[in-house]
Structure 1
């Protein structure tokens, strides 16, 4: 009889351990805590530790470059030893394709820098962004949006406030198509010539119109024709906005042929490039081939926000 009671007690204890999450978690922790001793004696585990430094990359701090002005930071990476071991242990051999990484953030971020224009992303990030300034060219927008959708690419459209006021449905369509919107002033003035109060009015009015039309708050400002002065950058910063310029100009307003436009961009594009374009016939006819050739260079195409993000692109 005593043996029967003993068996019943063991069964009840087992049931409690399984059904009680606190007990279960404790037992799981005890089991995990005993694993390191096993792993440390495993040649695979030692191999991962030995090879890990080869695959680690130091993070890059955001900085103010003498030529390119504000440059965003870029995460580094380190090998997650335990996760990598778990990923490889079924076959028991080291496989670099099964390494698991965790990202390491830089110490200095873009938001830590004083107000400064941004001409490009981090040069270590294999990504580029398209900046499409819109103050006219409605007749080419549908074709460009269709091409971007077909290529599964999201970009940044910088909308003039006056244009958005006249074309709220087109502005909304840009957003519902998965693209980012930014501020391109209200009436396309030479921002360099404006007083701080006039610049503030141009930016604020456009922010309000774009948010009313699309439901999106602008965090990026692109001054018309790239004209600005230090005070312009500071005014944009008052609205928690950063000022973006470009790295590569399509000069599409000069009506280049598709071959000319593509050649111009591809000869200059590189990690972190921001490509300036407009809704023109030249760009509409070039866009599909341009995207394909950029992808063939193993460069991802994204929005300005994605390019400025510290997240890694592998």
Structure 2
């Protein structure tokens, strides 16, 4: 019993010492001084100063999405910042090495989804990526060869499908999807949406989505108005159905059957960062596709889907 009592008293004393240490103002001041001294040591370090100088030189702030008077919605683009503290921790005890800097993407405060529903004609002008948007309501005889060319270069596009075409060609729809391409909505019967009521527009879009979902178990998130004809009501209805309305900034005009060389030259003369390039499954497109893929990449642009071009993630110019 006596031994237990002594152990209890010792336990209380230990608790008192611990509590006193936590409440002791001198202990608190000492800990604070250590923390401040560590900060001073870091801030006064030649290595840390070199990192800060690199940060000032290399930081790129993010760009917010905006609505342009001419081009409508312009997506945002991530910035990239040097994390000075993590870079210092990684290089501590070594010489400054720019390759060891810790850089992180920083998203913009305003993304495309934060804006009021609006059409989009191109990606952010600072993003070195472009997309082929292929509207399909006919021309299935050219698709297999086009898919082979995309596969050869490990490139992907967005195919906007007419709903009635997709219903008649489910195997082709599955083939496009299996090759890793994005599937978009191109309305059901290729109508002029400006001439339709809200209810009729909604039916065109919903019927197409239903066909695509029944075939692929996927719901489109991008919508291309047939012939580029639309009004704001169509944009709002597409938005309500979870789809971004997309048009183009470069047109192949391949439906006029130009010579493949002329088609290629026109596109490559007008291609730009964030370009959305309109085409169809036609013979001129089929015969010029390889030259287009190579020409776009030669100019330092990556090929991606429409959704990839419109998101804010960074890509490096090749």
Gaps of 5+ in 1: 1-33
2:232 pairs with one of 230, 246, 260: 230
Q: Secondary structure at the match of 1:102?
A: strand
CA RMSD of superposed structures (Å) = 2.0
Query: Cα deviation per residue 1:25-52 (whole Å; 9 max; x = unaligned)?
Result: xxxxxxxxx9877755653332111221
Aligned to 2:220: 218
Which structure would you say has the larger Rg?
A: 2
Whole-Å separation in 2 of the counterparts to 1:297 and 1:86: 38
Shift of the alpha carbon at 1:57? 0.9
Whole-Å separation in 2 of the counterparts to 1:150 and 1:202: 35
Give the 5 Å matches for 1:20-169.
Answer: 40=43, 42-85=45-88, 88=91, 92-95=95-98, 97-169=99-171
C-alpha distance 35-291 of structure 1, shift in aligned 2 (>3 A): farther
Whole-Å separation in 1 of the counterparts to 2:173 and 2:266: 29
Whole-Å separation in 1 of the counterparts to 2:134 and 2:228: 13
Whether 2:179 is the aligned partner of 1:177: answer: yes
Whole-Å separation in 2 of the counterparts to 1:290 and 1:100: 36
Whole-Å separation in 2 of the counterparts to 1:274 and 1:104: 25
**Count, aligned residues:** 282
Shift of the alpha carbon at 1:61? 0.8
Whole-Å separation in 1 of the counterparts to 2:207 and 2:253: 28
Gaps of 5+ in 2: 1-36
Whole-Å separation in 2 of the counterparts to 1:88 and 1:153: 38
Q: Secondary structure at the match of 1:132?
A: strand
1:254 pairs with one of 253, 256, 263: 256
Whole-Å separation in 1 of the counterparts to 2:135 and 2:58: 40
